[in-house]
Amino acid sequence: MNLTCKQLLQNHTQTWHEATVHTFIEQCKLGTIHPQQFNTWLVQDYLFVVDFTRMVGRVLAIAPPDHFDVILAGLAALKDELNWFKEKAAQRELNLDVAKQPTCIQYCEYMHTLATMPYPVQATAFWAIELAYNQGWQLPGVMVEPYTEFADRWGNAGFTEYVKLLEHQADEVLQTASENVHQQAQEAFLRVATFEKDFWQMAFNAAQ
């Protein structure tokens, strides 16, 4: 039996919904998010993206050469993204040299463990991580200022296209993978979904 990214989304609609729809983002859309919550997200997400960039580097290291184009484009976008995070943090006078919160630590440690897994599992996790932000920031629709630019970073049409390419690459390698690898890919998808939900909650908790 084959496994595709689309099937993962269809088989786990509730879990995926919780990964991509959260009061944190809804309150960004409305402009009611507390600055302390948003700033916590900004700093912790920067720290996450540093480790995510390393993860993508490891994915590249074991990817077939015909997947390089998409992954290298992703790494180039991450270079811009890391600089953009620094700019946004400076505008808000936020210190990025702080400790990761437990949820961020656990997510980053999980990304590390992905390196021990077969390429189809890593490709599936990579796609799921990017899709979570693509949908998370896109689903609420137009956000009020100053959040428009944040929603646009991951919700724009180009990013949607990039996530589609990641899906095609994951689907391609899942097609020839064993049942056991399919099982691991499904577990990775579910772990990513749970971490995404927890990450929104971590930022939301900053005001309580």
Binding residues: 45, 81, 130
By CB under 6 A, tell whether 48 contacts ligand NSP.
Answer: yes
Residue set of the binding site for substrate:
45, 81, 130
By CB under 6 A, tell whether 52 contacts ligand NSP.
Answer: yes
CA atoms lying within 13 Å on the CB side of residue 32: 5
Calculate Rg over the CA atoms of the chain.
17
**Least distance between ligand NSP and beta carbon 178 (Å):** 28
Q: Which of 24, 111, 119, 130 binds ligand NSP (CB under 6 A)?
A: 130
Q: Count Cβ atoms below 10 Å from residue 102 Cβ, excluding itself.
A: 10
Distance, CA of 40 to CA of 34 (rounded, Å): 10
Residues in region 79-98 near ligand NSP by CB under 6 A:
none
**Least distance between ligand NSP and beta carbon 47 (Å):** 10
120 and 170 Cβ atoms separated by less than 8 Å: yes
Q: Which of 38, 119, 133, 204 binds ligand NSP (CB under 6 A)?
A: 133
Could you tell me which of 122, 110, 138 has the C-alpha nearest to residue 51? 110
Q: Which of 21, 49, 165, 190 binds ligand NSP (CB under 6 A)?
A: 49
* Nearest residue (beta carbon) to ligand NSP: 133
Could you tell me which of 85, 104, 99, 98 has the C-alpha nearest to residue 198? 104
Residue 187 designated active-site = no
